[in-house]
Copies of this chain bind each other. A is one copy, B any other.
Amino acid sequence: MSEELRYTLFGESHGEAIGVVLEHLPAGLVLDWDFIRQEMDRRRARAGGLTTSRIEADQVRVLSGVFEGRTTGTPLAAVIENGNTRSGDYAAARYLARPSHGDYTGFVKYHGFADYRGGGHFSGRLTAPLVFAGALAKLVLREKGILVGGHILQVGPVRDEPFDPVEIPPALLEALRLKDFCTISDEAGQRMQQVIREAGQQLDSVGGMVECAVTGLPAGIGREDADSMEGQIARQLFAVPAVKGVEFGLGFGFAGALGHEANDEFYAENGRIKTRTNHSGGINGGITNGMPVVFRAAMRPTPSIARPQHTVDLRTMENAVLEIRGRHDPCILPRAVPVIESAAALAVLAAMGKLEREETNP
């Protein structure tokens, strides 16, 4: 019944098209297509061995909800046609569940009727419309002075410098957004790329972590219950394939900490309340406190690896060996940052409730 932002992704990796419907966007938002295309590009596969070789144009066609270049406030549907599909790669292994993929669980849940090709609806390809949706959410937030930005904090054994959670300047977030390989330390980025290429050469894959921040959020967003700011962000992040852990502020570091180390003391400055440290990641009691919201998402190594793996034939229930064909990312981190940011932007925008533009047309 609510009018908070809601989105629905649709489509399958090798189906006709993928897309998204966004409900309850504020009316009057100008679609900044330069920004949207940049965001889509940040997620795209590239040449160079860091990503899959399935490169898609990912042209977004908006079917509804936009008039004279602005959102109408009614549902916005956007579609991306599927182009570069090689479904034949998958036919032979139709009933061989890929380990740690959603093949088996999707088979059970959907009684064997799911589209198996390339993971079908479970494919990471669905993150393309997610990034489009996230770009729109970011545009709405940007008008309110709220930025969402992240970087690759870890790939395998290599770590980037973390954010300073007390002060995350807009210029840093924008610089990261425009980087081809999105780390704060270029040197760490170089080493990460090496780790990824090596994993690919070994027919293996490698995991990692994204750190993300939301800055400019006012205090008072979220709730003290199951709709906590942490819970709403985590729920959206866990919808991103490969995310298996989410932490805010010190996160798992709190487990080893003492209270006097972990507390964020308050001070007043120019009539605003701030904290000297930001171990809490900008959230207390499930509600934002005006400091940057900072969180990290752990992402598993791509489960599609070309090495032979043991599995089961879902039709015969016999043990089998699978050699995965198809084209896959040896590491999803290079493409994951805008995806994580998008999930967070959508969660934050939904948590803010109905946002009305002050402007009216005419």
- A244 & B239 in contact (Cβ 8 Å cutoff): no
| CB < 8 Å neighbour of A65 from B10, B276, B315 | B10
> CB distance A15 to B64 under 8 Å?
yes
Known contacts A102-B224, A207-B256; is-contact A354 B356 (Cβ 8 Å): no
Check A77–B259 contact: CB distance below 8 A.
no
On whether the beta carbons of A111 and B360 are closer than 8 Å, the reply is: yes
Chain B residue numbers with a CB within 8 Å of A304 are 259
Establish whether residues B259 and A234, one from each chain, have CB atoms under 8 Å apart when the complex forms.
no
A149 is an interface residue with CB less than 8 A from chain B = no
How many angstroms from the CA of A243 to the CA of B103 in the assembled complex? 32
A241 interface residue (CB < 8 Å to B): yes
- Complex: A17 Cα to B154 Cα, angstroms: 43
Known contacts A257-B207, A309-B265; A8/B75 CB under 8 A: yes
- The reply to whether B262 and A251 contact each other, CB–CB distance below 8 Å, is no
Q: Is the CB of A361 within 8 A of B111?
A: yes
Q: Could you tell me the distance between the alpha carbons of A106 and B219 in the complex, rounded to whole angstroms?
A: 9
Please name all residues of chain B whose beta carbon is closer than 8 Å to the beta carbon of A16 when the two chains form the complex: 61-64
Instruction: Give the docked Cα–Cα distance between A304 and B285 (Å).
Output: 13
Cα–Cα, bound, A305→B286 (Å): 20
Which listed segment binds B: A44-52, A178-186, A225-233?
Answer: A225-233
Partner of A111, one of B28, B224, B296: B28
A47 → chain B closest CB, angstroms: 22
In this assembly, does A151 line the interface, its C-beta being within 8 Å of a C-beta of chain B?
no
Given contacts A12-B64, A255-B298, A300-B254, is CB(A284)–CB(B101) below 8 Å?
yes
- Output the residue of A16, A103, A238, A275 with the most chain B CB within 10 A: A238
Is the CB of A38 closer than 8 A to any CB of chain B?
no
Interface residues of A in 304-354 (CB under 8 A from B): 304-305, 307, 309-312, 314-315, 317-319, 350-351, 353-354
Q: Chain B residues with Cβ under 8 A from A315's Cβ?
A: 362
- In the complex, the answer to whether A268 meets B67 with C-beta atoms within 8 Å is no
Assess whether B255 is in contact with A207, with CB atoms less than 8 Å apart: yes
Q: Are B15 and A63 in contact (CB under 8 A)?
A: yes
Which of B21, B114, B307 is A8 in contact with, Cβ under 8 Å? Answer: B21
Bound CA–CA A230/B344 (angstroms): 16
Q: Is A144 an interface residue (CB 8 A)?
A: no
**CB closest residue in chain B, given A250:** B244
CA distance A249 to B298 in the complex (A): 11
Which 4 residue pairs across A and B have the least CB separation, nearest first?
A: A102-B285, A2-B2, A245-B247, A205-B259
